[in-house]
């Protein structure tokens, strides 16, 4: 694998992360892109909608630390680096996914959260972000 190739992959993964979690800050988009690049299980460089849903499902399981079926402040670690990381992710999620504004994110709200950047990047509307569609985003043409 050449340096050029891996550099390009990192760039595409960053864009893909921003698409998955629109509204996230740069730091949070970076961790989202890490998750997304792992979600691209077959490594073909394209992101399918199902891969986004799988990522959300994994993320939900990780954030619902007390396994009561909702993500809320009770799942926040009391101390350590996980506390602020959880709060930042929870704030982002609340802004986009908490559609009934009850301060909790249910699994349904998580899975049905809007993904406007995914939709705008999927120019041929086939539910998959191809390498070309991701490149168009990475080049700032949208």
Query: CB of residue 137 vs Ca ion: minimum separation in angstroms?
Result: 12
Residue 93, CB-side half-sphere exposure with 13 Å CA sphere: 27
Q: Is 100 in the site for Ca ion (CB under 5 A)?
A: yes
Both tokens of 1, joined, read 């694998």
Task: Name the maximum alpha-carbon separation found in the chain.
Answer: 49
The stretch among 4-12, 26-34, 51-59, 97-105 that binds Ca ion (CB under 5 A) is 97-105
- 30 vs 88, which CB is nearer to Ca ion? 88
Q: How far is the CB of 24 from Ca ion (least distance, A)?
A: 19
From CA 52, how far away is CA 133, in angstroms rounded? 16
**What's the min distance (Å) between Cβ of 1 and Ca ion?**
25
């Amino acid at each position: 694998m050449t340096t050029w190739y891996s550099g390009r992959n990192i760039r595409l993964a960053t864009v893909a992360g921003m698409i998955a979690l629109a509204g996230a800050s740069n730091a949070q988009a970076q961790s989202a892109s890490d998750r997304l690049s792992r979600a691209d299980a077959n490594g073909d460089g394209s992101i399918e909608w199902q891969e986004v849903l799988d990522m959300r499902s994994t993320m939900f399981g990780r954030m619902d630390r007390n396994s009561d079926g909702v993500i809320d402040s009770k799942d926040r670690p009391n101390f350590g680096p996980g506390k602020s990381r959880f709060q930042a992710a929870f704030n982002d999620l609340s802004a986009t996914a908490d559609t009934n504004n009850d301060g909790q994110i249910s699994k349904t709200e998580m899975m049905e959260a809007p993904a406007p950047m995914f939709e705008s990047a999927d120019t041929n509307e086939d539910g998959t972000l191809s390498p070309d569609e991701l490149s168009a985003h990475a080049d700032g043409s949208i």
